Structure 1
C-alpha cells in the first residue's frame, strides 16, 4: 500500500475486494465520512451493523496500526476536501450543454491525475524505471482502452531506441508472451487487473521468468498481486463514459512518468535518438 493517507479515496477503490463485513463498514464510512471521527470503534460498529472486530480489521487492511490513526486520517481528508470544494468528480448527464461538458470532462481528467498521484508509490516507480532501463525487450499488453495506452507507450519508448511492441489482442499477446526471456519486461495494463485475456497472458509470462510491471486501478487484483512491480491509478466510479476517459488519462500519465524517468536517467545516451526521430518527422510537415 502507498502512504496511509487519502483513506476515503483508497476505501472507495478497494471496497469491492473487501470481506462482506468490512465492506459494510466501508460503505457506511463512505456515506457518512463527517460523522465517523466522532465515533468510537463500538459506535461505528453499531452504525454499520457489524462488529468491533470488523472495524479493526478494516483499519488493518488499509494499513493503519489502529482505529485512532484511521480516524485522524479521515479527519485530515475531510479538511482537505473542504479546501478543494468544486473539484469533485461530476458525471455527464444526458442533455448537458456543451459548456458543462467541457468543464466537467476537464475537471474529471484533472482529478484522475491528482488522485493517481496520491496512490502511486515512488519506490515502485523507481523499480519500474530500473527494470525498463535494463530490459532487452519491452512488451506492452492491454485490451480495449488499455490497448490504446499500450500503443502510446510503444510510440514513446521506440523514440529512445528501446526494442518494444504493443500487443492488443489475446492471441497475439499469448504468442508474444511465450517467447519472452528473463532479460525482457512485460508491462501489463488493465483497469480491473482481472481481464481474462490479460490474466491468461500473465500466466504465460510467469512461465518465462520475464519481469512483470502492472498498471491497474488501486486495490487488490490478480494482475498486481502477481507483478514484480505494481503501479496503481485511480479514477471516478461514474456511469457515463467519462469514467473510462479518466482511467485512460490516469494510465497515460503513468506511462509518461515511466518514459520520462527512463529518458532522464539515460539522456546522454538517448538524446541522439530523440533528435533523430524529431528531425525525420519534421521533414514530413508541409512546407
Structure 2
C-alpha cells in the first residue's frame, strides 16, 4: 500500500498533532522526500521525534524507510498526473462530469487493489464456500451492494439472505448459526445497525466478514475476516459513488473466486438462470 493512500485512509483516526504532520506531508509530498528529518520537522513546526513516531505509526521503521516509499509514490503520481481526481462543481460541463466521475471510480478501484490482502480474500472465499447460509448486512448505498451480492450468490444456488429493513437484518443476526457466514458492508465501518448485526453474528459463533474502508473501525474490529476498500476524498457525492464502485469490485472478486472453486457445476447454474429469463427479452 502506498504511503499517500495509507495516510489519506487513516487520517481521521490520527491525533491533532499527527494530522498536522500528515497534512504537511500530503501538501508537500514532492518536497518531503528530499528533506532531512530536521528540515521536515521545522517545515511542519514539530520535533524530529514526532516525525519518527508518525513514520512508525504508518508502519515504517523510521523516516528513511518512509522517505523511500514516499518517493515511489511521487514517481507513480507523475505517471498519472494527467488524470484529474476532482470533485464535481455545479458549473462543470457534462464532459467534465464524465471525466471526473470516471477518474474517481478508476482511482477507487486502484486504491482498493492496493488495500486488498489476497490471504484475507482467500479466507473469505473459503468461508463462503463452506457456509450453510450467508447473511448480508448493509444500509443505504452499501445495502444495495449487499443486495447485488445476494443476487450473485443466488444465481449459483447458494443460500443468501439480505433484507433492506435494518430491523430484519438485526433479527437474522440473533438466529444465525455457527455454520453460517455474515458479511457486513459499510464504507465508514461505523454504521450502527450494521455494527450491531455483525457483532451479534460474531457472538453467535458465525464466521464474520467485513468490507469497510482501511483502518480502525467498529465493524472491522469485530469481524473475523477484514477486507478493505479504497475511496477518494470529495465534498459532494463523488466520494460515495466511488466507494460503492470499490465495494462492488470486492463483491465481484469474492463471487468469481467462489464460482471458480466448482466451475463446472456453477456454469450449469449460471446457464440455467440466464436461460430462464431469455424469453422475457424484447426481440426486434
| TM-score, reference length from structure 1 | 0.95
The answer to which of 106-115 and 172-181 deviates more is: 106-115
The answer to whether 1:35 aligns with 2:31 is yes
Q: How does 1:1-287 map to 2 (within 5 A)?
A: 5-287=1-283
The answer to which of 88-97 and 43-52 deviates more is: 43-52
Listed one character per residue, the Cα deviations across residues 49-104 of structure 1 (whole Å, up to 9, x for unaligned) are: 23333222222222212211110000011011001112241111002111111121
**In structure 2, C-alpha distance between the alignment counterparts of 1:113 and 1:7, rounded to whole Å:** 17
**In structure 2, C-alpha distance between the alignment counterparts of 1:150 and 1:74, rounded to whole Å:** 35
The answer to which of 269-278 and 170-179 deviates more is: 269-278
Measured after TM superposition, the shift of residue 277 of structure 1 is: 0.5
Measured after TM superposition, the shift of residue 202 of structure 1 is: 2.3
Retained in 1: the 8 A contact 2:135–2:182? yes
- Structure 2's unaligned 5+ residue stretches are none
3-state SS in 1 of match to 2:211: strand
Runs of 4+ in 1 over 4 A off after TM superposition: none
Measured after TM superposition, the shift of residue 188 of structure 1 is: 0.3
Listed one character per residue, the Cα deviations across residues 6-60 of structure 1 (whole Å, up to 9, x for unaligned) are: 1101101101101222222111111111121122223322322233332222222
3-state SS in 2 of match to 1:188: strand
Q: Give RMSD over aligned pairs.
A: 1.3
Retained in 2: the 8 A contact 1:138–1:185? yes
3-state SS in 2 of match to 1:232: strand
